[in-house]
Amino acid sequence: MIKVDITGKSYGTTQVLGRIAFQVAAGETVAILGPSGVGKSTLLRIIAGIDKRFDGRVDSPGTMAIVFQEPTLLPWRSALRNITLTHPGLPDADAQAMLDKVGIGDKADLFPGQLSLGQQRRLALARAFAGQPDLLIMDEPFVSLDPATAETMLSLTENLIAEHRPATLFVTHAQAEAERLASRILMLEGSPATLR
């Protein structure tokens, strides 16, 4: 589903990533585990096609959905519209069904600023899955949540992945999260960072 072969990535004169090559098959869930500052978000932005300034190539056929480290929601649109505006043609009823599925069905008319961080994360998750992506990319989706909310999000994500079966690539600095969700864990370490 995705084939990554990056040979290097620098910010100015500082090389952040070295050679990083791996593939994720359809339906597979792969975690990239590494310490803060190692280059995880940089790697995901390259794979997502947001950052094109790198050496190497990334091949990803099919549709992609991205869940960022901080939820990137439209502040002046309701929870429901945050989903339908991202997926033109998606019926309101389908968007509402996704909100129900992540447990915020009663918040459809609220703006993101009226939701807790945990609820914003749920909305970001609902928006990602609403497009039935072939590839799901997540950047530390459970970071800075209290333990109970993180646990709820983790099992919610587990269920959504089991139901929709996208190829999933997510980065985290938490070993337990990686072990729980992923069928394969890649370690990102060093400077410039490479896989181990």
Residue 2 bridge partners (DSSP): 24
C-alpha 153, offset from chain centre:
13
Dist CA 85 CA 89 (whole Å): 9
Each residue 13-32 as x (binds ligand ADP by CB under 6 A) or -, in order, gives: ---x----------------
Window 114 to 173, contacts with ligand ADP (CB under 6 A)? none
Contact 79, 120 (CB under 8 A): no
Dist CA 147 CA 36 (whole Å): 19
Between 95 and 169, CB nearer to Mg ion: 169
When binding is defined by CB under 6 A, the residue of 29, 42, 82, 84 that contacts ligand ADP is 42
When binding is defined by CB under 6 A, the residue of 23, 37, 59, 179 that contacts ligand ADP is 37
Between 39 and 131, CB nearer to ligand ADP: 39
Dist CA 86 CA 77 (whole Å): 11
Between 37 and 49, CB nearer to ligand ADP: 37
Phi, psi (rounded to 5 degrees) for 58:
-135, 120
Establish if 9 lies at the interface with ligand ADP (CB under 6 A): no
Size of the residue set binding ligand ADP (CB under 6 A): 10
| Binding footprint of ligand ADP on the chain (CB under 6 A) | 11, 16, 34, 36-42
